[in-house]
Amino acid sequence: MEKHGQVASLCLLLVFDVVELLNETVKVFLMQLLNFAEAVAIRRRSLEKLFQILDMYDALSGVFPDLEAMVMDEFVCTEAKRVLAGLGRATKGTFMDETLNSLLENNDDDELNGLQSDDSERLQLESLSPIARRLLALLSTLESNLE
């Protein structure tokens, strides 16, 4: 009977070792993914990359509850929170910087050409303030990127 107890204890130790080894292996891959997400967050900002940042934020925030439940290492969860916050800041910063830059640039003819479909519509657009026209052009660009 004592022999069965020793075997059970050894099996239990082996299972704990395998779980710890698996956790460390998963941690390596998760850290690589988090490093990639961080690189996405810190790269040069542009409206074209805004949707990539949003996709990364959406993906990480969607799996975060499962990640917290699955990973035993608190460092990985803390790092994931930090990267998620960085992606959020990058999204806000990209949208604000690029939107303001786009609104302040002066290229009225390009914006009118992209928005108009006939002469009467062009007259309506010309009656709008420059900032309103630029905002319409920006919204049109964003809408076309969603399609």
Q: What is the distance between the terminal CA atoms of the chain, rounded to a whole angstrom?
A: 69
User: Can you tell me which residue has the tokens 């809408």?
Assistant: 143
How far apart (Å, rounded) are the C-alpha atoms in residues 26 and 38?
18
Q: What pLDDT does residue 102 have?
A: 65
How far apart (Å, rounded) are the C-alpha atoms in residues 73 and 70?
9
How far apart (Å, rounded) are the C-alpha atoms in residues 134 and 112?
9
Residue 52: is it exposed, middle or buried by C-beta count within 10 angstroms (0-12/13-18/19+)?
A: middle
Average pLDDT of the segment spanning 126-142: 72
Q: Which amino acid is at 108?
A: D
Say which range, 13-27, 68-82, 95-109, has the weakest mean pLDDT. Answer: 95-109
Provide the 10 A C-beta neighbour count for residue 57. 21
Do residues 91 and 50 touch, judged by C-beta distance below 8 A? yes
State how far the alpha carbon of 75 is from the alpha carbons of 14, 21, 24, 27, in Å.
25, 16, 12, 9
What pTM was computed for the model? Answer: 0.60
DSSP label of 46: -
Say which range, 6-10, 30-34, 86-90, 92-96, has the weakest mean pLDDT. Answer: 6-10
